[in-house]
């Protein structure tokens, strides 16, 4: 299709050279085993669409900053291109992201809605050819089970649209949330994600979350997808089927609701999404289970999206009387730092993960906004949030 080539995901941990490596870790005198797993999350680095009035952000500066971090892993929450079917769009992404390739940063992708867009900006699975050619996706999940073979030339193109990675005691579950942001309860777009496929993906999620809670190798779980459950964006809003699936019997709706399974997980630490071109953080406080952080990491440089009004109602996600394990959901970053709602926050999220701690820091890029930082501390089954 084009000369982009596939992004290697299975390379060994990158060893930086000299001062080019930025350490977010323990003191140099600490033993190697004590060094945290360093992970970066970024998202929504696509170029502006024709007619978009909002200003674009510093895409190249974000990629360059992430490359300087030289993390062990990087995850992109989706929307790399304006149209997945466009060869020139993928070439532009390759140019923008060249610093990551040069720094040998393993980049794990999440499918965004723009990867499904054909040349007419209509959703079509055929548009995924570019995505499957761009990334060398895992062939097995975190527990060794085979994933669908990548076949970009097939019609429609084939490959894993959801997968998992286990690294340093941290389990990352990557999902495809497309088709859900406009699912109105009356039809399913079979050219994007069919209902049986969504059921299959939810089984994948359930099995992974349940296995993680039993497996001593796993200390933390992170779930990544493109569409938000919690957001104050008036442009996009929450994808309601993620927390209240509209099709099927009561039992089927519950089993098809992603948040139903997230709410039951003991080791789930964070849900990381994009779609909203900004940064947000929320905390779900649960009864008898550890808190879960919900991050929106979409400030990679796509035209900014304003956040408006209080975080409540349908666009914000589950509210009583809908099933919901959150006793309360509170905003963190903007409430703490008084960032004006109309000002987008460009940057990325940095994680430093050890068996007993998850440190997070939102790193602003080309903006004067203050960083957002905190940590989850694990002591047995008790998890506390410090911010």
- Tell me the mean pLDDT in the region 173-198: 72
pLDDT at residue 309 tops 80: no
Q: What is the pTM of this model?
A: 0.89
**Tens-place pLDDT, residues 279-288:** 989 888 888 8
Q: How far is CA 104 from CA 8, 101, 286, 352, in A?
A: 9, 5, 39, 19
pLDDT (0 to 100) of residue 182: 54
Sheet holding 163-167, edge to edge: 163-167, 170-174, 220-224, 268-273, 292-297, 279-286, 326-331
**Tens-place pLDDT, residues 315-357:** 454 444 455 677 777 776 766 666 666 778 899 999 999 999 9
pLDDT (0 to 100) of residue 271: 97
Whether the upstream peptide bond of residue 156 has omega within 30° of 0, thus cis, is yes
Residues in the chain: 387
CB 41 within 8 A of CB 348: yes
At residue 251 the predicted structure's pLDDT band, cuts being 50, 70 and 90, is: very high
β-strands 347-354, 37-42 pairing? antiparallel
From CA 265, how far away is CA 148, in angstroms rounded?
26
pLDDT at residue 50 tops 90: no
- Tell me the mean pLDDT in the region 56-67: 95
pLDDT (0 to 100) of residue 25: 29
Q: Which of 101, 96, 82, 87 is nearest to 7 (CA)?
A: 101
From CA 297, how far away is CA 287, in angstroms rounded?
26
At residue 7 the predicted structure's pLDDT band, cuts being 50, 70 and 90, is: low
Q: Which of 267, 272, 353, 297 is nearest to 72 (CA)?
A: 353
pLDDT (0 to 100) of residue 6: 58
Q: Which two tokens stand for residue 12?
A: 């060994």
Catalogue the E-assigned strands of the chain. 37-42, 73-76, 107-109, 163-167, 170-174, 220-224, 268-273, 279-286, 292-297, 326-331, 347-354, 357-364, 372-379, 382-386
Domains with residue ranges and CATH for the chain: 36-386 (3.60.21.10)
Mean residue pLDDT of the chain comes to 84
**Tens-place pLDDT, residues 15-40:** 222 333 322 223 333 344 569 999 99
């Amino acid at each position: 299709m084009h000369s982009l080539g596939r992004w290697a995901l299975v390379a060994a941990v990158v060893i930086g050279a000299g001062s080019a490596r930025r350490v977010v870790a323990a003191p140099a005198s600490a033993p190697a085993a004590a060094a945290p797993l360093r992970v970066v999350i970024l998202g929504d680095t696509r170029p502006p669409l024709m007619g978009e009035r909002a200003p674009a952000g510093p895409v190249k500066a974000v990629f360059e900053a992430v490359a300087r971090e030289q993390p062990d892993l990087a995850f992109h929450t989706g929307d790399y291109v304006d149209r997945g079917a466009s060869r020139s769009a993928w070439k532009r992404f390759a140019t923008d992201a060249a610093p990551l390739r040069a720094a040998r940063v393993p980049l794990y992708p999440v499918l965004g809605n723009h990867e499904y867009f054909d040349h007419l900006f209509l959703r079509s699975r055929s548009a995924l050819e570019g995505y499957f050619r761009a990334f060398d996706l895992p062939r097995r999940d975190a527990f060794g089970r085979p994933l669908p073979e990548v076949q970009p030339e097939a019609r429609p193109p084939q490959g894993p649209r959801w997968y998992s990675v286990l690294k340093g005691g941290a389990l990352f579950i990557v999902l495809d949330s497309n088709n859900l942001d406009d699912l109105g309860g009356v039809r399913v777009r079979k050219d994007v994600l069919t209902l049986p496929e969504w059921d299959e993906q939810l089984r994948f999620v359930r099995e992974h979350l349940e296995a993680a809670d039993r497996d001593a190798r796993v200390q933390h779980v992170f779930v990544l997808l493109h569409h938000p459950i919690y957001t104050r964006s008036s442009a996009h809003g929450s994808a309601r089927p993620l927390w209240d699936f509209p099709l099927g019997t009561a039992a089927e709706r519950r089993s098809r609701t992603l948040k139903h399974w997230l709410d039951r997980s003991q080791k789930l630490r964070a849900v990381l999404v994009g779609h909203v071109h900004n940064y947000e953080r929320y905390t779900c406080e649960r009864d008898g289970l550890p808190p879960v952080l919900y991050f929106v990491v979409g400030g990679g440089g796509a035209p900014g999206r304003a956040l408006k009004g209080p975080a409540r109602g349908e666009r914000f996600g589950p509210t009583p009387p809908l099933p919901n394990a959150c006793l309360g959901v509170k905003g963190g970053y903007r409430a703490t730092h008084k960032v004006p709602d109309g000002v987008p926050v460009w940057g990325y999220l940095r994680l430093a993960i050890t068996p007993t701690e998850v440190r997070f820091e939102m790193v602003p890029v080309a903006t004067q906004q203050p960083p957002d930082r905190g940590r989850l501390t694990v002591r047995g089954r008790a998890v506390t949030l410090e911010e």
